[in-house]
Amino acid sequence: MNTVLPDALRPLTPLIEAHLGAAVQGGARLHGGDISAAYRLRTTRGEFVLKAARPTGGTHLPLYAPEAEGLALLRAAGPLAVPDVIAFGEGPGGWQYLLLSYLPPADDTPALHGALGRGLAALHARPAPGFGGTPDNLFGSLPQQNLAAGSAAEFFWHSRLRPQLERAGAALGAADRARFAELRERLPRLIPPEPPSLVHGDLWHGNLLFTVRGPALIDPAAAFSHREVDLAAMRLFGGVPGQVFAAYAGALPPAEGWEDRAALWNLYPLLAHVNMFGTGYLARTREALEAALRLPERWGAGE
């Protein structure tokens, strides 16, 4: 690692060194990150991770305080590794930053796949106080509400689908909105009645790491919600081994039909992708909506 930081981020170096009480000796860009740039830093105190971004689009959302809060929730729950938050804030040039401990990678093995499934089941099995009720945070670059709700269906509609539908505006036609209105009416009868769980909230495979400390979670959009949110997210873009799901089911079996309900839960990230990245995600969103509307109403009149 020969580069400290790209030129635009160089003003952050003294601030990072002050937080660490150490000199930054080198850095390398880490893979991924549509919203933030992430760097592995080598310092005189060891290695750390720096995430940095400059809010765009005329907004000035606090990017990393919500992420730090989500990491704290997951760390307190305990069953899976989570990076430590060293510092976060805003530096010169409008750059926001988050400084984290570095979790060295480990080989991607069946043993770690099983540990991830069991750890996620242990996370979801811990009691939560209710649906929603945590501070609002972010999903990607978008504001995410966490309004307190009396049921998973109420929370999913009012804090997840409705805000994204409002944000989508003209990207959705009248026929799309009519189908979502039908889904809203049916929603309580489509979701199995279960107690709320702490969920990661954006658990695609890029936010799962296999490390020397075991399976680890990063970049949360954490909330108290229905546990199937995380199971569905792991199926959305693929890349999560089947052994993870098998180990989860062995420890905390999901309700019958959870694989089919993945389309329902994934309407939220798909709508968010429409709003963040454009109408290229509309076809997949419409497919998921039609699959959700084909689900059987097996859970009675409500939760």
What letter does residue 248 receive in the DSSP assignment? H
Q: Please, which residues have CB within 8 angstroms of residue 209's CB and are 6 or more apart in sequence?
A: 81, 103, 105, 215, 216, 217, 218
Residue 234: what residue type? M
- CA dihedral (89, 34, 83, 203) positive or negative: positive
The b-or-e profile of 82-98 (16+ CB within 10 A means b, else e) is: bbebbbbebbeeebbbb
The percent helix, strand, coil of the chain (3-state, each to 5) is 45, 20, 35
> Can you tell me whether residue 249 is helix, strand or coil?
helix
Residues with catalytic function: 202
Residue with tokens 């850095």: 27
Residues 138, 296: Cα–Cα separation, whole Å: 32
Residues 263, 235: Cα–Cα separation, whole Å: 9
- Listing DSSP states for 73-116 in one string gives HHHHH-SSB-PPEEEEEE-GGG-EEEEEE---B----HHHHHHH
